[in-house]
Copies of this chain bind each other. A is one copy, B any other.
Amino acid sequence: MEKWNQSYGFLLGKVLQKMETNFVEGLSPFEINARQYGVLLFIEGNPYSSQKDISENLQIDRTTMVSHIDHLEGLGYVERTRNPNDRRSYSLLITDKGKDVLDSRWEFLIHTELEVLAPLSDEEKQLLKELLIKVWTTL
């Protein structure tokens, strides 16, 4: 056992890196990156959001959001309509096409994650999730 294996950060990083590499590869046919997948997921869960809403919640700069939404709109995954109550902002909605991508890649994501966690038993996987949620909910 080398020194750096004693760090939770290095261990978490190694496991996450493996999951991310696989997931990003699976996204490439749909021409979006992991960040944009996260934006799409947020819009599905929070319909009629503005770009600012997403920026604040996902902690992405608002100028960066412009290009993410430009990209997702260009692919037909989201739709921009002006908010009638405040014409400065947009009302963003996921399209049916966007929802298809989201659902298909969600199943893929869960599948690749379980592949990486294959060395663990079902009980251990459940335990890992509970520990992570316990940490996360008090972040």
Contacts and interface: CB of A to CB of B under 8 A. Distances in A.
Interface of A: 2-9, 11-16, 18-20, 23, 38, 41, 45, 109-110, 113, 116-120, 124, 127-129, 131-139
Number of copies: 2
A2 B44 CA distance: 11
Give the residue among A20, A23, A131 with the most B Cβ atoms within 10 A: A131
A127 B123 CA distance: 13
A116 to B, nearest CB: 7
Main secondary structure of the interface of A (DSSP, over half): helix
Contact of A127 (B45, B119, B127): B127
Q: List the 7 closest A-B pairs by CB distance, nearest first.
A: A11-B132, A119-B138, A12-B16, A8-B113, A9-B19, A128-B131, A14-B136
